Amino acid sequence: MKELIQASYKRITPYFYWLSRLTESKARIKSVKISRIKDFSSVLIIAPPTGFFLDKLMELNPNGRNQLLYFSKEMKQIALDRMKKGIKDNCTIDICTIETLPYTDNQFDHVFAYCYFDFLDNEGINIASSEIMRVLKQGGNLLATYLSEPVNLLEKISIYSISKLGFLRDIRVVEVNTILNQNNFMNITITHYSQKCTPVDLIYAEK
């Protein structure tokens, strides 16, 4: 399973930047607004976005810790190439397997997870959400975006089209809410977005 997921990330890496901007940019911008990030925070960004969005996170937390986490060397390099302002002193990058976060308990105030749950089955989502719960501080929050169930005909067509694209064939529609509840996340809210007719959910949850 782990090897298949790593291969999936490698396939999508060349297209990740444009795909995320086309389908998730509205949800990601909203995630920053509702996260309540303050300076001197400790922030983990899993499978992070690049360009303007990453710069925005840095601006909100210039004196804190910004930890970026990638699942392939290729994705890391593309992100570095696209960063407008380069790596800051308070920004570090790790590469790890997709299911285990390389951090000790209770480290982060905020965890952002983008294009992460989409590659996992229910067992993988359970492991991943358990890991996120572990590294979050008490009172910290998780904000994640992922493909969701289509609610109209255009979204159904979009999901069908995505399933036929070779480099996206491993992305799946997922249901995250129930699993987060099982891992004791609280105050869970879900907002549905339809961008370019692609159904995306933004989920907010607290430890």
**Cα 107 to chain center, whole Å?**
18
pTM of the model: 0.84
Determine the Cα–Cα distance for residues 129 and 124; give it in Å rounded to an integer: 8
For 61-76, what is each residue's pLDDT tens digit?
Answer: 989 999 988 877 777 7
**Homologous superfamily in CATH for domain 2-206:** Vaccinia Virus protein VP39 (3.40.50.150)
Q: Given CA atoms 103, 94, 110, 123 in this order, what sign does their dihedral have?
A: negative
* Mean pLDDT lowest among 11-15, 74-78, 99-103, 130-134: 11-15
> Would you kindly state where each structural domain of the chain is located, as residue ranges?
2-206
Q: Are the beta carbons of 68 and 90 closer than 8 angstroms?
A: no
Determine the Cα–Cα distance for residues 59 and 70; give it in Å rounded to an integer: 21
pLDDT class for 39, splitting at 50, 70, 90? very high
Q: Which segment, 58-67, 89-98, 158-167, is predicted with the most confidence on average?
A: 58-67
